[in-house]
Amino acid sequence: MDNRNVRFIEGNEAVVEGAIAAGVRFFAGYPITPATEIAERMSYRMPQEGGTYLQMEDEIASLSAVIGASVGGVKAMDATSGPGISLKNETLGFAIATEVPCVIVNVQRTGPGIGSVTMAQQDLMQARWGSHGDYTLITMAPASVQECYDLTIRAVNLSERFRIPVILLLDTFLGHLSERVVLDPPLEIITRPKPEVDPEDYLTFDAEGTDIPAMADFGGPYRSKIIGNMHTKAGGYTRDPEIFESLITHWRDKVLSRKAEYTDIERVMLEDARVAVVTWGSTTRSVKKAIRMARAEGIRVGLFRPRTVWPFPEQEISELSESVDHMVVPEMNLGQMLVEVERWSRSRCGIHPVNQVSGEAILPDRILEKIKEVA
Amino acid sequence: MVTIPKKPAPVRHGKVTINEKWCKRCGICVEFCAEKVFERHEIGRPVPVKQKNCRVCRMCEVYCPEFAIIVDEVEES
Amino acid sequence: MARLKAHREMLDKYLTTDNLPTAWCPGCGCGIVAQALVRAMDGTGIDPDKFAFVTGIGCNGFIPRYFRFNELHVLHGRAPGYATGLKMARPDLTVITIQGDGDLAAIGGNHFIHAARRNIDITTIVSNNFIFGRTGGQYGPTTFYQDRASTAPYGMPERPFDLCRLGEAAGATFVARGTVYGVVRLIDILQKAILHKGFSLVEAITPCPTSYGRRNPEKAGTSGSEMIKWIRENSISLSKANRMRPADIEGKIITGIFAEKNEPECTDEYEKIRQKARAGLSSV
């Protein structure tokens, strides 16, 4: 008899439990459908764990409070939907520029504008390019409630490891889907590196290139000068062109130099495949059914599904494009991961999107039809 | 009726130093010194020509926006 | 009234000289606010490592740059949000925000009133120079009616906020206004504000000769010292103002402590929530 912690809960709740398991003890949010359950569940669970739930006056204030808490040394999370990410983007950029770890959950809905609270995957590019400025971050997209738990833990760990904001992309459907989840304790819990030098020698941003700087908590004995402007290692203001080049590339290189730590791809039946279906998030569920149906008809088709969607697995897609004849790319948007797939396949294989923005899931039959069409 | 004269409060004396590298010649110290210790010289540079008037009130220290004035209390010479 | 502390002592304890001379214009009031603040902080006896500055965008946001304190320099208007998160996560810290009038009351208005409503135990210092100084002198929510500004070449057509009334109405439990002219009183106000348990608002009236003074020369003068004289001539203490007719105090700067109350504070209230949660008491 399995005595692990087995529950039947919805995606939004699994995110909360994953965050708590990874050490998150601060949540600030603002209600927005379809993410509100995360806030509600956090308001109940955070104080039980000795943590804090803050309902802030708006989306921007909630991410601001999360960053404030993280600077104080407490792992922190925010949850919203697409409109909230739009509001938070300046603050997200601030977290990049100050290298403050935090996790932001986007339970996607149809947009733009007020849109509708229906299933969509329209915020992939927003997750990558939403803020102004040039930067890199990590974004992950679960496809099951179990992954809502597991990938939240991973998101918290990676945000602490790389000292960046990490975005977790769910959607209306997955957030409210109830499935069996096993709430195993995490295999590892990562916390931002702490300084080991003498307080007199501590520099707030003591890193360049691919280094990840140590982060002292406010309150002594280390003194931090965390400023959102272009800064020196000491946290001073600067206009030095060499520092600009060095700092902006550092923010990118500290992440990109550690590919093995964040790359996460699900591959199903790709070994002998002539057609690969490349997708992400909830659409994966329909794809898996479609692939089984296609295989039953003798079509050699497999699944390539990044769980870490940013940075995009360029090399892996590039290699895949050499071994298959076609890629089918179903997404609930007008073609966002498609752009990256086309770019890195470089016309080595056929690329066939299946796009749908109706607010309803892409059903397996539609994907099967496209597979059969190209196979 | 005999009046006993009160002992007068001791008069304090100060020596004013201005950090020339930080001073921006704004003239606030000149304007607000109650004892008129300062004069404005070239380009508004404040000079404590009447040091002996300084009573160590320290208002110039706190009024200087550039942290440039230091008043040290000295013995009466 | 206590004697002012020796500046040499303040410099030794708190000033970091790497970034001096300051980035401020000659005659800017930011430095005087900084002087008052450091003396007030020293007077509280709080361990300097336990102070945390959260500063907004504006020339006053540079104040902690010259001192040995922990500092988080954040986005325009958002300081109260960061400060609230920091204080809730670390109630052991003494959190002080420094914001300009535009930072606090234009873009930051919503965050300001909610921090006041929550009565979160932070101190917000608003450096009010009646203008958006840093960006070159545009009018802001505290610019006086008919003042000239870079975006009000024909005169400001709107009314200003009274920041202290706004803060008090929103629930701030310590509300005070001082000026850089009345700097000794300002030190006292700041010290009380920092020690006050609850949301403290201190409005510090300060001159901006470059952006405000130059465009309103006949009103306020064009140099720091002229503007400080203008502030002196137009300030009235609260006790005196209460005995005067409204027409006579129209457009004047009223100084003093407007509110000093003890009310439930946010971090304390949330600790009660944690106790309830641990005891299994909820309505869920």
Residues in chain A within 8 Å Cβ distance of C82: 64-65, 67-68, 71
The answer to whether position C128 is within a domain reads yes
CATH code for the domain of C145? 3.40.50.970
The answer to whether B28 faces chain C, any CB pair under 8 Å, is yes
Q: pLDDT tens digit string along C80-105?
A: 999 999 999 999 999 999 999 999 99
Q: HEC string of A124-193?
A: HHHHHHCCCCCCCCEEECCCCHHHHHHHHHHHHHHHHHHCCEEEEEEEHHHHHCEEEEECCCCCCCCCCC
Q: What is the reported pLDDT for B75?
A: 82
| pLDDT tier, C282 (very low <50, low <70, confident <90, very high otherwise) | confident
Has residue A1 got a pLDDT over 80? no
Mean pLDDT of chain A: 97
Q: pLDDT tens digit string along C161-211?
A: 999 999 999 999 999 999 999 999 999 999 999 999 999 999 999 999 999
Structural domains of chain A in order of their starting residue, each with its CATH number: 6-182 (3.40.50.970), 264-374 (3.40.50.920)
Instruction: Among B28, B29, B57, pick the best mutation site for testing chain C contact (most C Cβ within 10 A).
Output: B28
How many domains, in total, are found in chain B? 1
| pLDDT tier, A3 (very low <50, low <70, confident <90, very high otherwise) | low
Q: What are phi and psi of A309, to 5 degrees?
A: -90, -25
Tell me which chain A residue has its CA closest to the CA of residue C61.
A227
Helix (H) or strand (E) holding A352: strand A350-355
Q: Do C85 and A94 touch (CB under 8 A)?
A: no
Q: pLDDT tens digit string along B17-39?
A: 999 999 999 999 999 999 999 99
Q: For residue C46, give every residue at least 6 positions away whose Cβ sits within 8 Å of its Cβ, in sequence order, or none.
A: C94, C194
Q: Do C20 and B67 touch (CB under 8 A)?
A: yes
> Do residues C115 and C199 touch, judged by C-beta distance below 8 A?
yes
Helix (H) or strand (E) holding A46: helix A36-48
- The mean pLDDT of A111-121, rounded to a whole number, is 96
DSSP of A64-128, one letter per residue?
HHHHHHHHTT--EEEEE-HHHHHHHHHHHHHHHHHT--EEEEEEE-B-STT-BSS---TTHHHHH
Has residue B70 got a pLDDT over 80? yes
Q: pLDDT tens digit string along A262-295?
A: 999 999 999 999 999 999 999 999 999 999 999 9
The answer to whether position B30 is within a domain reads yes
Domain extent for B58: 13-74
Q: What is the reported pLDDT for C2?
A: 60
The answer to whether position B28 is within a domain reads yes
Tell me which chain C residue has its CA closest to the CA of residue B69.
C7
Instruction: Among C96, C273, C274, pick the best mutation site for testing chain A contact (most A Cβ within 10 A).
Output: C274
User: How wide is the angle at C-alpha A244 spanned by C-alphas C211 and C135, nearest 5°?
Assistant: 10
The answer to whether position B27 is within a domain reads yes
Q: pLDDT tens digit string along A151-164?
A: 999 999 999 999 99
The answer to whether position B8 is within a domain reads no
Has residue A88 got a pLDDT over 50? yes
Domain extent for C118: 7-278
Closest partner residue to B31 (CB to CB) among C21, C25, C225 is: C225
Has residue C60 got a pLDDT over 80? yes
Q: Dig out the tokens for B59 from the structure.
A: 């208002």
The answer to whether position C152 is within a domain reads yes
Subunits with 3+ C-beta pairs closer than 8 A to C:
A, B
How many domains, in total, are found in chain C? 1
ipTM for the predicted complex comes to: 0.95
The answer to whether B55 faces chain C, any CB pair under 8 Å, is no
Q: Which of A196-200, A329-333, C1-5, C122-126 has the lowest mean pLDDT?
A: C1-5
Q: pLDDT tens digit string along C20-50?
A: 999 999 999 999 999 999 999 999 999 999 9
CATH code for the domain of B29? 3.30.70.20
The answer to whether position C232 is within a domain reads yes
Whether this model's pTM surpasses 0.80: yes
The answer to whether position B32 is within a domain reads yes
- The mean pLDDT of C249-259, rounded to a whole number, is 95
Has residue C129 got a pLDDT over 70? yes
Closest partner residue to C86 (CB to CB) among A218, A227, A228 is: A218
